[in-house]
Amino acid sequence: MVRLEKEHIQFIENYLENSDILYADIRMEMTDHVASEIEQLINSNNLGFYETFKSYMVNNKATLIDNNKQFLKGTDKAIMNRLWVELIKIQTLLVFCLIVFISYEWLITIKVENLRDYMSMMPLVSITPFLIVYFCSLKIFKLPRFSGVERLGVLYLISFQFFNFLSSITGLYIKSQNNFYIVALLIATIFTFSLLIIKITLQIINQYHNDYKFMTS
pLDDT tens, residue by residue, 48-64: 888 889 889 988 888 98
pTM for this structure?
Answer: 0.71
Alpha-carbon span 15 to 105, nearest angstrom: 59
pLDDT tens, residue by residue, 141-199: 676 777 887 787 777 778 777 777 777 776 665 655 567 787 888 888 888 888 888 88
**Which pLDDT does position 208 carry in this prediction?**
78
Q: Which of 20, 191, 206 is nearest to 106 (CA)?
A: 191
Query: What is the percent of the chain with per-residue pLDDT over 90, rounded to a whole number?
Result: 13
Confidence of residue 202 (pLDDT cuts 50, 70, 90): confident
Confidence of residue 115 (pLDDT cuts 50, 70, 90): low
Lowest-confidence region among 29-33, 49-53, 106-110, 196-200:
106-110
What's the whole-number average pLDDT of the chain?
80
**Residue 31 confidence (pLDDT) above 60:** yes
Q: What are the DSSP E strand ranges found in the chain?
A: none
From the DSSP assignment, how many helices (H) and strands (E) are in the chain?
9, 0
**Which pLDDT does position 123 carry in this prediction?**
63
Average pLDDT over residues 55-74: 88
DSSP at 211: H
CB of 24 closer than 8 Å to CB of 212: yes
Lowest-confidence region among 15-19, 97-101, 128-132:
128-132
Confidence of residue 91 (pLDDT cuts 50, 70, 90): very high
Q: Which contacts qualify for 56-59: CB closer than 8 Å, 24 or more apart? A: 57/15
CB of 155 closer than 8 Å to CB of 31: no
